[in-house]
Structures are given as structure tokens and as C-alpha cells.
Amino acid sequence: MKIDSFKPKLSTRIKNAATEVILSSTSHGLPNIFRSNELSIKIMWTFFTLISAGLCSALIYESFANYFNYEVTTKTRVKHEFKSIFPTVTICNLNYFTSDYSVNFIKSMEKFKPVYNPLESLFENAAKSTKDKFNQGNNSKIFGDSKEKLIVSCIYQKAKCNMSYFTFYNHPHYGNCYTLNSGYDEYGNEIPLWTTLAPKRILGLKLILNTSVPDEIRFVSPNYGAMIIIHNVTDDPFQIEGITVGPRTETNIALNRNIYSSMPKPYSECDANTNDPLAYDSELYKLVHNNTKGYSQVLCMGICAQRLYVKQCGCYIANFPSFFNVRACLPLEDGICINQILRTISSTNYVSDECYKQCPLECDGMNFEKTISTNQYSSEHWIKHLEIYNQSDAKYFNKSINSEDLTAVNIYYQTLSYTNIEEAPTTGLVDLLSNIGGIAGLFLGVSFLSFIEIFELLMQIVLILKNNDKVSG
């Protein structure tokens, strides 16, 4: 008789190996089913094992569903600082035409007596006369306020401002504007940003502005005063809604900061890493980064619309900033093309198909909550008092500056604390694994190592088959 005839069959060996692994398993259901000799007990363990396995599967499915819903938890906290960066402030006269050159220019246009919008007519002819870009070219400066004329006084933390710290910014709507605390001086040299140590008006920024417009051209616009735009240093003033201040008023602007951070896709609609100029291969995205200090989807969308005007009409419109080296659009010469582009943008999917695809939405940002109060400024009795006692402030009211045109602005932090709004995944990968482990342990009594028993069984079957092949050979 051969020795091999006493060796169990292959199927029997595999069955024995599987039974051994199951009986030694750390789970509770299957070992007890195989171990029980009584049918009633075997049925009982089978029933409860199936119920537990069903509940376990349902709850694990729910855990995966919660994970792939990409829900977030918003955490709002008030954080405190003992020293804060002061915001960047851009100052404009509400009137585009304010200079003596504007007076002579507008007088020269009176003979045309346009029947359409007179301001539009002036913009068109101003663009022709400068032979340059309307809202970006240096020649357009001649129509608006100089820095020395607009800013009568600037005091920050009880010290006079260095006037060279004001940088020129040409706003599409207001013309000549001047930005303070931008991180650069008027010569392009980098300078440190201002910081503040106390949330007090007396230690904030105090401005006195001359918003005068020559009487001869007051008919051009009904607006009269100044525009104050308070923004983060990385924001373009165009994308921020400003605060209008009228003459003979003192406006107090108390600031509170909100800093927010959202989770990127797929948790929200925003895109990650928009501060990296190389993160997205988009012409508009790179154009914004190359011409500003920080990225904004609002600005990118405006440039997207502007690009269509540039491509189709060969010019840019003054409603949006332009980073394109082309002439300004003229209402009479380019009116038909301008209206066609406007209809294209409003009645087609150009914005969604072109602009949104090339302009990712940033996830992080900061905005200012503003508390504004006003009171009368430069009363007649105060002016007379200054004139009598020859105070230093009396220079503001000399013959070249009419007190009726002055406005005062105080900008300061109401508190150095800020509201920090952050998003975090409601169910992260660690949470998902923990939920699965807890559910499996609760209903089946298994752990991660219990799943290794399956691999042990597979390895044993492989070894049995391998040894069987050797014997057969």
C-alpha cells in the first residue's frame, strides 16, 4: 500500500484549514456557529450574526455616504491681537474732472452741445485728446486732482504722514485716486505696512480732503465729495465698494475684521492655492497675478469681460480695469461694437463658458465691517476762531481752499480682535476609518487584525495547493 493513500483529499484539507481559521477567529459570530453542536444554538447564532452583519453593513454604508457628501463644520472664533496691520486706504474725488485743464477742455467742448449724455461726450473727447489709455495712461491725470490738492492733511497716530507714501491709482470711475499703506511709496520702493497698537480714534488715520470742483464744470456731475475705499493690501480698489463722504462733514469709520477660510473643492465651490501664480494654467488668472498683489475672482471676471471688448472692438471700456495695451473705446466710434458685446455677455453663456472656467474662486479672504457716523465739519464759528488765533489749522482755510469744500475722515479699528471663520470636514478620512472600526467592533466583534485572518486562510489554501502540486509531480 502506498503512503500517499493515507493523505486526506485536497478538498478535505482546504475545509479543515478553513474550519481551523474560523474557529480561532477573533470575531464572535462564525466561530460560535461552527463550534455549536446543538442545532437550536447554531440557529440562534446564525440569526443574530445575520442581523448584526446587516446592521453593520447599513451603518458602514451611511458612514461612506456622509464622507462623500463632503459636508463641512464651520468654526467661528474671536481671536485677539496686541498689534494689527492697518488697512490700505484709497482716496478719490467723486468727480473725474476737477483740474484747471478740465475747465479749459470742457469749455472747448461747449460748441458741440451734445444731445446725448454730456459726461459720456466728455469722456469720449478726453480719450481722443490724451491719445492714450483712458483709465490707465499717465496723460489722463491732467483731468483730475493732484495729490497735493486733494489731500490737505494726513495724520496717523498723531504724526504727519509722509506724502510720498501715497501711490497713484487710476480708478475707472473716479479717475485720479491715491492709495496709502500699500507697501510701496510713490517711487516704487517697498516700505513696511503700518501697524496699530490701540483701537482708538485718536490713534487712527485722520484725513482732511479738499473735494472742490471748479464752478465752471460743476454741471458735469451731480456728485460732490470724496470716495474712501478701505481694503486689504492684496485687493484691487476697483473690486471694493467705497464709502462716499460729503463736504462739510466729518465721517468716523470704525472697522472690524472678518477673516474667512473655506474648504476647497469638492467641499465647496472654491479652488485651492489661488495665491500661487502657477497653480492654474489660465491666461486671465496669470494676467491678474502679474498686475496685482493678490488674486480675486471678481477682478478676473471683469478682465474676462474686458478681454472680449479688446478682441472684438480693439479697445477697452472704462467700466472695468484694463491690463491690455489698447486705446479706450469711444461711444460714437465704437458704440455699435460695444452694444453687440454687451448683448453677447448678457444673452449668451459667455460668462459661464469662458470666464468661470478661467477664473477660479479663492477660498481665503478678509473683509471689513464698517460702523459709520457723521457730523458737521468746519463750522463758521470754528473757522473764525482759527483765523483770530492763527492756529496751525487755519492754513486749511486760506483763500485757495474754500471751507465749504473740505471734508474730514477718521479711520480706525473699533477693536483689535477679529472674527476668524474656518471650515473643516465634518467627516475626514480618519473619522471614516474610526466609524467603520467602531461599527464593526460593536456588531461583529472584529478589528483590523480580524481581516488579516482572511489573508491567513488564503495563504493556507495557496500553500495546500502548492504542496499538492509537488506531491502530484
- 116 vs 335: CA distance, rounded Å: 13
Q: What residues pair up with 367 in beta bridges, in sequence order?
A: 258
Note the pLDDT of residue 112. Answer: 47
- Band of residue 249 on the pLDDT scale cut at 50, 70, 90: very high
Note the pLDDT of residue 123. Answer: 54
Note the pLDDT of residue 389. Answer: 53
Task: Answer yes or no: are the C-beta atoms of 33 and 384 closer than 8 Å.
Answer: no
Which is nearest to 80 in space by CA: 334, 252, 257?
257
- 1 vs 92: CA distance, rounded Å: 110
Helices within 394-473 (DSSP H only): 429-443, 448-472
Least confident window among 189-198, 220-229, 235-244, 396-405: 396-405
- Calculate mean pLDDT across residues 380-398: 57
Is pLDDT of 207 > 60?
A: yes
Is pLDDT of 145 > 80?
A: yes
Is pLDDT of 342 > 90?
A: no
Note the pLDDT of residue 256. Answer: 94
Note the pLDDT of residue 2. Answer: 47
Positive or negative, the CA dihedral 182, 184, 188, 190 is negative
Is pLDDT of 17 > 60?
A: yes
- 121 vs 139: CA distance, rounded Å: 18
Residue with the larger pLDDT of the pair 379 and 40 = 40
Q: What share of the chain is helix, strand, coil (3-state, %, to 5)?
A: 45, 20, 30
Least confident window among 30-34, 112-116, 126-130: 112-116
Note the pLDDT of residue 166. Answer: 95
Note the pLDDT of residue 86. Answer: 95
- 150 vs 89: CA distance, rounded Å: 14
- Measuring CA to CA, how many Å separate 185 from each of 158, 210, 362? 20, 22, 28
Distance of CA 236 to the CA centre of its chain: 12
Is pLDDT of 6 > 90?
A: no
Cis peptide before 266 (omega within 30 of 0): yes
- 16 vs 29: CA distance, rounded Å: 19
Domains 84-268+370-424 and 271-362 share a fold: no
- Helices 283-291, 297-313: axis angle to 10 degrees equals 110
Distance of CA 200 to the CA centre of its chain: 28
The set of cell numbers assigned to 152 is: 490737505
Model pLDDT for residues 42-68, shown as the tens digit of each residue? 888 888 888 888 888 899 999 999 889
Is pLDDT of 137 > 60?
A: no
Residue 313: how many CB atoms within 10 A of its CB?
21
Model pLDDT for residues 172-205, shown as the tens digit of each residue? 888 899 999 999 999 989 999 999 988 888 889 9
- Written in H, E and C, the secondary structure of 156-209 is ECCEECCHHHCEEEEECCCEEEEEECCCECCCCCECCCCEECCCCHHHCEEEEE
Query: What pTM value is reported for the model?
Result: 0.75
Model pLDDT for residues 66-123, shown as the tens digit of each residue? 889 899 999 999 999 888 999 999 999 999 888 888 888 777 765 544 444 445 555 5
Strands 88-93 and 226-231: antiparallel
Note the pLDDT of residue 219. Answer: 83
Positive or negative, the CA dihedral 105, 107, 108, 111 is positive
- Calculate mean pLDDT across residues 270-295: 90
- 80 vs 92: CA distance, rounded Å: 32
- Band of residue 125 on the pLDDT scale cut at 50, 70, 90: low
- CATH for 84-268+370-424 is 2.60.470.10
Q: Cα-flanking dihedrals φ and ψ of residue 93, to 5°?
A: -80, 135
- Residues 6 or more apart whose CB falls under 8 angstroms from that of 165 comprise 180, 181, 185, 186, 191
- Calculate mean pLDDT across residues 387-402: 55
- Calculate mean pLDDT across residues 394-411: 74
- Calculate mean pLDDT across residues 433-437: 87
Which is nearest to 456 in space by CA: 33, 28, 35, 20?
20
- 115 vs 127: CA distance, rounded Å: 19
Domain coordinates in residue numbering, the chain = 3-69+428-472, 84-268+370-424, 271-362
Note the pLDDT of residue 286. Answer: 92
Query: Which H/E stretch holds residue 228?
Result: strand 226-231
Mean pLDDT for the chain overall: 82
Q: Cα-flanking dihedrals φ and ψ of residue 55, to 5°?
A: -65, -40
The set of cell numbers assigned to 412 is: 480706525
The set of cell numbers assigned to 298 is: 471678481
Note the pLDDT of residue 264. Answer: 92
Note the pLDDT of residue 245. Answer: 95
The set of cell numbers assigned to 174 is: 473716479
Q: Please determine, looking at this structure, whether the domain spanning 271-362 carries the CATH number 1.10.287.
A: yes
Task: Answer yes or no: are the C-beta atoms of 261 and 363 closer than 8 Å.
Answer: yes
- Measuring CA to CA, how many Å separate 463 from each of 21, 457, 469? 14, 10, 10
Positive or negative, the CA dihedral 153, 154, 160, 163 is negative
- 207 vs 90: CA distance, rounded Å: 12
Q: Cα-flanking dihedrals φ and ψ of residue 104, to 5°?
A: -65, -40
Which is nearest to 116 in space by CA: 268, 305, 291, 335?
335
Residue with the larger pLDDT of the pair 412 and 38 = 412
